Amino acid sequence: MKNIHSVLDSQETEAWQKLIRVLTHEIMNSITPVTSLSELLEHQIEDFDGNEEERAEIRRMLQTIRRRGDGLIRFVNSYREVSHLPQPLLKIYTSQELLTGVVRLMYREPNDLHLILPPKGQRLMADKDLIEQVLINLIKNARENDATDIRISAGLSSGERPYIRIEDNGTGIEQEVLDRIFIPFFTTKPTGSGIGLTISRQIMHLHRGTITVSSEPGKGSIFTLLFPAVF
């Protein structure tokens, strides 16, 4: 059953990646000529046979087209990240090597981060930069959900697979939202992009691992990053 779930998760991720690549390609092909043409027309407007007021109005309209076109291009470029993540440069790290740097980077007053490490040097095979990106995103999400106690721990699963767990006491996530949080572009935040958790899941997929979440409204959330066993 676990293998079936892993295959389905992988196929869903690949389907989203293909869709995003197609959409960004088509949007860029359509909007780039429009933006370039509006910029060209702005320069040629001085030759227009009309009074200055008419020229100014046309200039304003062209500037609006170009501004919105530039905004759409920036928007598309931001979502390209979902489908163009680099292949991980895998090395063996101890959990301490992976986690202490993130805790230092994300430290603030009053301190809300608590690192719990296993007594022995647990090892993981990971790309440090990519996993740090995942952890930073999860810590930021916890803080945005009003968490005041964020516990980052590491250990071994019953199947001898190393894991990193981020547990918080924030507002938690409703079940109907929980089922959708890894879907690209889905967000409940007014200014959210909806790609942070999608990228996090893709990074774990590239590590041949998984990211799972359990949550209860009013009590907080637990995100678990599960890595392949290191022998």
What pLDDT is recorded for position 64? Answer: 72
What pLDDT is recorded for position 48? Answer: 66
Distance between CA atoms of 72 and 59, rounded to whole angstroms?
Answer: 20
Residues 114, 15 share a domain: no
Residues 177, 139 share a domain: yes
Query: For the chain, what is the radius of gyration of the CA atoms?
Result: 23
Domain housing 14: 3-83
According to DSSP, the β-strands at 210-216 and 220-226 are: antiparallel
Residues 79, 102 share a domain: no
When pLDDT is averaged across residues 32-39 and rounded to a whole number, the result is 73
**231 inside domain:** no
* Of 21-30, 38-47, 150-159, 177-186, minimum mean pLDDT range: 21-30
Using pLDDT thresholds of 50, 70 and 90, give the confidence band for residue 3: very low
Residues 142, 30 share a domain: no
State the DSSP H helix or E strand holding residue 63, giving kind and residue range, or none if neither: helix 52-83
- Given 83, 115, 133, the domain boundary residue is 83
According to DSSP, the β-strands at 162-168 and 220-226 are: antiparallel
Rounded to an integer, what is the distance from CA 141 to the centroid of its chain?
A: 11
**9 inside domain:** yes
Residues 153, 113 share a domain: yes
Number of domains in the chain: 2
pTM: 0.70
What pLDDT is recorded for position 142? Answer: 94
**18 inside domain:** yes
Output 202 or 6, whichever has higher pLDDT: 202
Residues 74, 145 share a domain: no
What would the pLDDT profile of 205-228 be if each residue is shown by its tens digit? Answer: 999 999 999 999 999 999 999 999
Residues 75, 142 share a domain: no
What pLDDT is recorded for position 9? Answer: 60
- Given 53, 83, 113, the domain boundary residue is 83
In sequence order, which residues have a C-beta less than 8 Å from that of residue 148 and are 6 or more positions away?
Answer: 112, 169
